[in-house]
Amino acid sequence: MHALAARRAAARPPGCNETMTEPPQAHKTKRGPRAAASLFRLGATYLGLIIVDAFALYLIYAFASDGIWELAITIGVITLMVNIINLRADLYALRWIAPALSLMILLVVFPIAYTVYVSFTNYGDGNLLTKTQVLKLLGPQTYLPEGGKVYRWNLYQNASGEFALWLTDEDAGGAYYFATLHNFEPVTTVAAGADLPGEYQGYRQLSRGESLKAVNAAQAMAFGGESFKIGIAGRREAGEFAKRYQFLSEQDAVLDNKSGALFRANYATGQFENDEGGTLFTGFISAIGLENYQSFIDRDDIRGPLARIFAWTIAFSLASVFTTFALGLFFALLLQNKRIPFKRAFRTLLIIPWPIPGLISVAIWRGMLNSNLGVVSNIIRSFGLEPPPFFIDAGWAKLAIILVNLWLGYPYFMLVCSGALAAIPRDMYEAAEVDGANWWQKFRDLTLPMLLVAVGPLLIASFTYNFNNFIIIEAFNQGGPPMVEAGTVPAGHTDILISYAFRLAFGGGRGSDFGLASAITIIIFLMVAGVTLAQYRLTKGWEETSENV
Amino acid sequence: MSERHVIKHKRYSAAQNAQLLVQLIILVVAVIFAIFPVIWVVSASLNPSQSMVTQSVIPPLPETRTVFAEGAGTLLRIASPAGRRVERSAELILLVEIDGVEKELRSPKNGYVRNIRLEVGESFAADEALYDISSSYLINFDILLSTPRRPFLRWLFNSLAVASITAVLVVLISAFSAYSFSRFRFSGRRHLLVLILLVQVFPNLLAMVAIFLMLQQIGNHIPFFGLNTNGGLILVYVGGGMGINIWLMKGFFDSVPRDIDESALVDGANHWQTYWLLIFPLVRPVLVVVGILSFVGSYNEFVLARILLRDKDSWTLMVGLWSYVSASFALDWGVFAAGAIIGALPCLVIYLGLQDQIVGGLTQGAVKG
């Protein structure tokens, strides 16, 4: 079947429309109102493309000038694809797919590829910007050089609170200048050496006391407009600002004009470093090779926790799949008995946990299991027992999570199993009964195998879903209780891989380590890919897939 | 049929009846397990005491009680009017002078102040009645909806808007693709289909770091789709929810006979017209299922929303409810319960109302978290 389909596909010329009697490009050749309509459509296509292209070009330029080449290239590829598809008549069929394809490339394919890239970099706190962005940030930085031109300053302020400086150039015989935030000009209306006016161009001179209060705010400002910057340098002196940093591209280094030190780009650390080992205030994103992956083995505060988290992730997923499937199947079997009254009501009530948003369900359970005040603890206490420490002890926390996940997950399998059970032919059971099989034999040799054929793929899908079941871990106890040996790297006993990666990337406290977090998600990618591949091998899913196509 | 039923009925042995009884008992226990948390949260939402400590399955009846002074003094000022809706952050405050010291008396947070027994400037004796306060089943909902610090209605609106727009876009865009995959034969079609399925194996939750960083960069140039915007969140949801739905819809499109659109094409309609006028109405059932599933999916989504939305006003409902859980949960339990009920209601109604369609869609398309 498969081979036949392939041969049929090969026999067709590329781009050929197999079934359509009238290929779309044929419209264009017709005359009359049809031709006008199609001309209009063609015009609309071009106009649309021009708008899309203009927008895309702006984005590509913007990202490229930030040094974010990967995003610029991705958008470029998508734009190119959209243009080709829309301009070539033989790709008409793809025009319908182009929107979905563009979105998937931008939001699924690119993020996966970008995750791989980030896992090989030092992206994280201290290294959040690309080198280009860091240089852009350094560009406007200024300082007041020693030995530059010095003025004496007085502070003025206008009605909207803006400051201005009255500058006296004592070297030039007390010539006056006036510098607002926007421009700098010599004062012509007041003679040199004359008293300062109380008001000038809408600015009011501040008294000594007012000046002292405002000086801190004013000191941070650069006066004089874009080209010529002047600022307060001391109690009485103001001076011209100079550009502080200079990028020397042939040496790939930044020269600090203030100290004269040369900061060379060090790609192993993602920092600009001088000879004494000092660095600039911010590093840049740099490819650091396998360092993130090596830290899985090298770093004591990651190796131990990671191994335990990995083991728990698999245990949690397996336990969740097994318990939810078993309980769901059990209820489905119970509901099979035709004599049970109010069956529809039972079924609906048992489904209740399913439609409730996961976060809400988990939060409710978190409240109910609260060791001091929760209702479950109170019930246990009313029997004279001590309620288990669900949030303090690692073992109890794990048990509680599996229990809560059981509550969340069984209705799905109950529904699926009900459907699958109904599809098993009755006469097979009758035949088994004739052969004298008891209920256990019927279940083991008939029901379960038949069921697993239908539900098997869903079990595997459920495994991969639980493998990444972030919500339950995060909403129940944020991965707690914390692991002691994890040190400053946040990790908890009930953390699964995805929540651990989340904590490394967005965990607050210790800061963000996007590189390490991405390296961990790569492990998850590999696991999910492996499971999926194994599933397809087992079920020969590839062939089924191609046949359905 | 009925005859067989009667015959069967006669054959029930005592053992079979005992078995039925056991099964019924198990089912009742199961139902209690299933709905106990729901009952508990409903009762918590109706219980005027917001804290977890004093919860009971049946909330206490609303009652009015009188609050007495704890010493003789004078009433100086009434800081918020009695009788009006009293929200927690602006409860009644009485400014009084007791033993020559000015003091603020705050009303309890779990009731409405009904009437103040004193006029401003009036003196009161120790143990004199100050005002009446009555509890109400709905006070948690009242607090929930009227606390500016936690704009619940805003979150609900955001969630509904994000989920609806996502659902509509996902349906439209993936239906276009499904139409093409179902109706055209072009080179690379098969590979493209398999590729889409493969890519979809990885939920975009896994690439959360990359998505966060990407939206950050995009936001520098197109603020509408940046971090902290519902636009960006919709973009991420739409992009992530495409693949599996294209497959689901394509299967359904295939079941619509080709003769229908072929005859339309022969009659001179173009593909655009054929799609909208003929195919679209016929495939509406599957579009509804896909729309509902992606509505519910994005309404419930929490992780990406939490990562991408930092500002309180842009939060979705789940992120907002999470803020209760992560803060002083035990103290806000009643208010959280009220929020949980309102938050769960849309999905509950949709699922229980459309059980059969959704189950059908689910078993076709396997699980999609």
Placement of tokens 């799905």 in the chain = A412
Q: For chain A, what are the domain ranges?
A: 25-118, 142-243, 297-548
* B265 interface with A at CB cutoff 8 Å: yes
Q: What is the pTM of this model?
A: 0.80
Q: For chain B, what are the domain ranges?
A: 2-46, 64-134, 152-326
Dump pLDDT digits (tens) for B279-337: 888 888 888 888 988 999 999 999 899 999 988 999 999 999 998 888 777 778 888 99
Half-sphere exposure of A482 (CA within 13 A, CB side): 9
Closest Cα of chain A to B73: distance in Å?
38
Helix (H, G, I), strand (E, B) or coil at B101: strand
Q: How many residues does chain A have?
A: 549
Residues of A in contact with B33 (CB under 8 A): 407
pLDDT, greater one: B277 or A325: A325
pLDDT, position B101 = 80
Half-sphere exposure of B283 (CA within 13 A, CB side): 32
Q: Chain A residue with minimal CA distance to B356?
A: A415
Binary contact (A475, B193; C-beta < 8 A): no
Confidence of residue A24 (pLDDT cuts 50, 70, 90): very low
Dump pLDDT digits (tens) for A421-451: 888 888 888 888 888 888 888 888 888 888 8
Confidence of residue A27 (pLDDT cuts 50, 70, 90): very low
Within this chain, domains B64-134 and B152-326 share the same CATH topology? no
What values do phi and psi take at B205, rounded to 5? -60, -35
For chain A, what percentages of helix, strand and coil (3-state, to nearest 5) are there? 55, 10, 30
Q: Chain A residue with minimal CA distance to B211?
A: A111
Domain B152-326 has CATH 3.40.50.80: no
Chain A with chain B: Cβ pairs closer than 8 A = 302
Mean pLDDT by 10 residues, chain B (369 residues): 49 84 93 92 85 73 79 77 42 76 76 76 81 81 83 94 96 94 90 85 83 89 89 93 85 86 86 88 86 91 91 93 81 88 91 73 43
Structural tokens at position B280:
């679209």
Binary contact (B53, A373; C-beta < 8 A): yes
Confidence of residue A29 (pLDDT cuts 50, 70, 90): very low
Instruction: Pick one of 1.20.1440, 2.60.40, 2.40.430, 1.10.10 as the CATH number of A142-243.
Output: 2.40.430
Distance CA A459, CA A465 (A): 10
Host H or E run for residue A154 = strand A150-158
What values do phi and psi take at A367, rounded to 5? -70, -40
Structural tokens at position B124:
């009161």
CB-count burial class (<10 Å; 0-12, 13-18, 19+) for B8: exposed
* B327 interface with A at CB cutoff 8 Å: no
Confidence of residue A65 (pLDDT cuts 50, 70, 90): confident
Please state the ipTM of this predicted complex: 0.85
Domain A297-548: CATH superfamily is MetI-like (1.10.3720.10)
Instruction: Pick one of 3.30.1280.10, 2.40.50.100, 2.60.40.10, 3.40.50.1000 as the CATH number of B64-134.
Output: 2.40.50.100
N-terminal to C-terminal alpha carbon distance within chain A: 12
For chain B, what percentages of helix, strand and coil (3-state, to nearest 5) are there? 60, 10, 30
Dump pLDDT digits (tens) for B36-49: 999 989 988 888 87
Confidence of residue A81 (pLDDT cuts 50, 70, 90): very high
Residues of A in contact with B156 (CB under 8 A): none
Dump pLDDT digits (tens) for A500-518: 998 888 876 667 889 989 9
Binary contact (A59, B352; C-beta < 8 A): no
Distance CA A31, CA A37 (A): 10
Q: Chain B residue with minimal CA distance to A541?
A: B194
> Which residues of A, range 436-495, sit inside 8 Å of B by Cβ?
457-458, 461-462, 464-465, 468-471, 474-475, 478
Contact between residue A142 and residue A242 where contact means Cβ atoms under 8 Å apart = yes
Placement of tokens 């990337």 in the chain = A505
Q: Chain A residue with minimal CA distance to B306?
A: A506
Contact between residue A88 and residue B183 where contact means Cβ atoms under 8 Å apart = no
Binary contact (A363, B336; C-beta < 8 A): yes
pLDDT, position A313 = 94
pLDDT, position A32 = 57
Q: Chain B residue with minimal CA distance to A367?
A: B330
* A264 interface with B at CB cutoff 8 Å: no
Binary contact (A62, B221; C-beta < 8 A): yes
Mean pLDDT of A220-237: 76
* A37 interface with B at CB cutoff 8 Å: no
Regarding the domain delimited by A25-118, which CATH topology (the fold level of the hierarchy) does it fall under?
A: Methane Monooxygenase Hydroxylase; Chain G, domain 1 (1.20.58)
Closest Cα of chain B to A49: distance in Å?
18
